[in-house]
Amino acid sequence: MSKRTTWIVVVAVIVVLAAVYLGVRGLPTAKKAEEAQQAFKAGMVTDIGGLGDQSFNDAAYRGLQKAKDELGAEINVVESKKMDDYEPNLRSLADQKYDITWAIGFLMTDALNNVAPQYPDLKFGIIDSVVEQPNVASVTFKEQEGSYLLGIIAASMTKTGTVGFVGGMDSPVIERFEVGYLAGVRSVNPNVKVLIGYTGKFDDPAKGKEVALAQFSQGADIVYHASGACGIGVIEAAKEKGPGFWAMGVDSCQHHLAPDNVLSCMMKRVDVAVYDVSSKVKDGTFEATHYEYGLKEDGVGPCDETSKHVPQEVLDKVNAYKEKIVSGELVIPGTRAELETFTPPAI
């Protein structure tokens, strides 16, 4: 072999070895790039109450945060300031290829119906509404069941014989809160008067406080709210009135807002639903179906801190009613029409 040929062979070997070396070195980078492309992404669009409402939107965010912590999800939250934001906010997450995008609240029903069909390869979820699209999971709750138990507590604890309810926007969802609460009160004492008020919105604590103070001035000593961020004002009203005046919170535990004036809270486990359905997207078991959470599914019910101010005999009564609901023996009305024919059971 000539010297020239030998050098050609040597150079060729060096080139081959270098290519192999660089190729091997490049594998982790390529793998990382592939993993980045395959990263599970979960996003949510808040209702107009936004994060920091200490209630509904914050509960949903806890579920998203759990998806980050336990599923390794890349998460993103887009806050809505007005209803016109819903559709562009949903579209912005879909354009970024989020594997699941959550619409937090029934007010986004129309927006999601418009957006979801345009992204057939992506998944969506909505809370408090049913959207019949092949890539949408719908989640609703039996709010009337948990609210019924809070009505039991209110009627058992009132000293004045008058209690109140403050709703946000009058809708089928909030109607379930109101009707369940009324049914619970009547099951304990039909002579207890229930004052009903609505703020007409979910993002105005001052309005919530105004409605609650009006009910306190009319003799109520316990006011239950289902009004989103307006409920912060309801709790402020109870705190301002002082000892003997109580607020009852919703969706999240709100005891910390006024430890001496929050009697109980109706937990609505939006966080559980958001995490559960998001995990189904990641593991490939997602279904475009309707999920419903009630007492039986641990989706609603009084918070653990209820025992701080509510005596054991009342808690025992609450548990007795709960058992009847879970067993199916007791069906709680969810509409005003159903309430008219409701007959309280004997316990």
Residue of higher predicted confidence among 30 and 106: 106
pLDDT band for position 223 (cuts 50, 70, 90): very high
By the 8 A CB rule, do 142 and 332 touch? yes
Confidence of residue 218 (pLDDT cuts 50, 70, 90): very high
Q: How much is the pLDDT for 65?
A: 97
Distance CA 249, CA 251 (A): 7
pLDDT value at position 33?
A: 43
Q: What pLDDT sits at residue 53? A: 86
> 24 by DSSP, 3-state: which?
helix
Helix (H), strand (E) counts: the chain: 11, 12
**Region of poorest pLDDT, from 41-55, 114-128, 199-213, 260-274:** 41-55
* pLDDT number for residue 84: 96
Helix (H) or strand (E) holding 126: strand 123-127
Does residue 176 have a pLDDT over 70?
yes
Is there a contact between 290 and 138 (Cβ–Cβ < 8 Å)?
A: yes
Residue 32 has pLDDT above 60, yes or no: no
The domains of the chain, with CATH numbers, are 40-141+272-293 (3.40.50.2300), 143-267+311-340 (3.40.50.2300)
Residue 207 pLDDT = 98
CB 97 within 8 A of CB 40: no
pLDDT attached to residue 20: 43
Residue 157 has pLDDT above 80, yes or no: yes
